[in-house]
Amino acid sequence: MSRLPRRNPRAMALKTLIRWEKGKPLLDEILSQVLVKSVLPDPRDRAFCGELVNGVVRHLYYLDYVLSRFSEEPLERMDPEVRNLLRLSAYQLLFTRVPARAAVAEAVKLLKRRRGKWVISFVNAVLRRVAEVRENPPEPPREMNPVAYLSVRYSYPEWLVERWVSRFGEGETERLLAAGNQRPPLVVRANTLRVTRDQLLVYLKPEIPEADPCRYSPEGIVLQGFRGPITELRAFRVGWLQVQDEASQLVSYLLSPRPGERVLDACAGVGGKTTHLAQFMRNTGRIYACDLYPWRLKRLEENAKRLGVTNVEIISGDVLTSVKALGGNFFDRILIDAPCTGTGIIRRHPDIKWARKPEDLVKVPEKQLALLEGLAGTLKPGGIMVYATCSLEPEENEEVVRKFLGMSPKFEIEDPRPVLPKTAWELVDERGFFHTYPHRHGLDGFFGVRLRKRSH
């Protein structure tokens, strides 16, 4: 059998989906690996490949439901290449403006020299039938179990839908599921070490007419309709902006470090919040940015250099082990953007919904609580510790905080509104917890709480 052509974005998308389905590893990592080995010089082809991959994973159950209506052969019995090619093509027919003739013809073209005539005829016939219902695709019956209906229609695992229905009700859950299937807008943060948001908006408008200020974050800008690589923007290359969702920007406000302080970013990732904290500190003091993964820290270093951030010290490895050498009562402020199930950012990473299992809501909170307990002693009396996740689940949020406060009487919840922009006060509940939701606010789903360590 001949290899899939590396110059064809559909072929590279198919290759990615086959690899993802086999073991459900991180979709972004597989896609990056496939694109590196591909020969797709045109950024539009690379973007199209990414759109196809994420689209299929986002709408997986529904695509399978539609295909099963027109195929006598069960999908689970098909060869992985044929199954995923059908999904890829059905996605184009049902969710994009790709002409039906092109979607079907390209699928057949990929199979030639790789499969026998029977397989080619079968794929062609199934896709033609899907194309016929393009304007009015079949819907799963609403009379069925509401959880089963929502699971198939919006492509989420039943256990997660069931959780949300019992918590939010059927109507709100449907809005949440639909919001999680929307492609999120590209949001950037003005790097106020170099430019104001207003200056950046004026600079971006000729290139991106629909660049608009964010509703909640004073530094945020939504790049509506922008689909090109961010690296194409000169403002990115010269360090005037950083990609960061608005909800993530607001987490930095919860901490609000001051110039000259010693700050720990315990789970720094690629440095979105780290470099934002540097803006609050006016590039003074010291930010200790720690992460387990060297590739993330390399990206953080690159971002800091591009943005002109000079007050960051990078620490590679387990944060609880790494900060022991610094001693107790060392930090003025600590940010714990804890590893979590990520149910608040499914719209950005659709593979999350297929990777998570119910047992994660037992295992993950244990690790989150260990982080809080392990770092509490490194905070100075009177200092601030912010605990945040991009999860919607109470087990990872309010419950972790409740358990921590039960074990750590020196800490108390502090009302975050005085340090938040007034526009964001509505995101804080009566207990002092910060929440954002994709379907309510149009933001990534985040949780945050500001904890103060008593002075005595």
Q: Please, are residues 84 and 54 in contact by the beta-carbon 8 Å criterion?
A: no
Domains of the chain as residue ranges with CATH: 9-132 (1.10.940.10), 146-180 (no CATH), 186-243 (3.30.70.1170), 254-453 (3.40.50.150)
pLDDT tens per residue, range 17-51: 999 999 877 898 898 888 887 778 788 888 899 99
How much is the pLDDT for 200?
98
* Token pair for 279: 């803006």
Q: Which one-letter DSSP state was computed for residue 428?
A: B
How much is the pLDDT for 326?
87
How much is the pLDDT for 188?
98
Average pLDDT over all residues of the chain: 95
Q: How many CB atoms lie within 10 A of CB 155?
A: 23
Of 106-120, 141-155, 169-183, 332-346, least confident by mean pLDDT is: 106-120
Name the residue with higher pLDDT: 360 or 8.
Answer: 360
Q: For the whole prediction, is pTM greater than 0.85?
A: yes
How much is the pLDDT for 2?
57
Q: Please, are residues 341 and 368 in contact by the beta-carbon 8 Å criterion?
A: no
Nearest to 151 by CA among 141, 138, 161: 161
Q: State the virtual CA torsion across 395, 396, 398, 402 in degrees, nearest 10.
A: 80
pLDDT band at 68 (very low <50, low <70, confident <90, very high): very high
Q: Cite the active site residues.
A: 390
Secondary structure (DSSP) of 307-338: HT---EEEEES-HHHHGGGG-SS-EEEEEEE-
pLDDT tens per residue, range 215-263: 999 999 999 988 778 988 999 999 999 999 999 999 999 999 999 999 9
Of 4-13, 143-152, 304-313, 332-341, least confident by mean pLDDT is: 4-13
In the sheet with 186-190, reading across from the earlier edge strand, the strands are: 211-213, 220-223, 186-190, 241-243
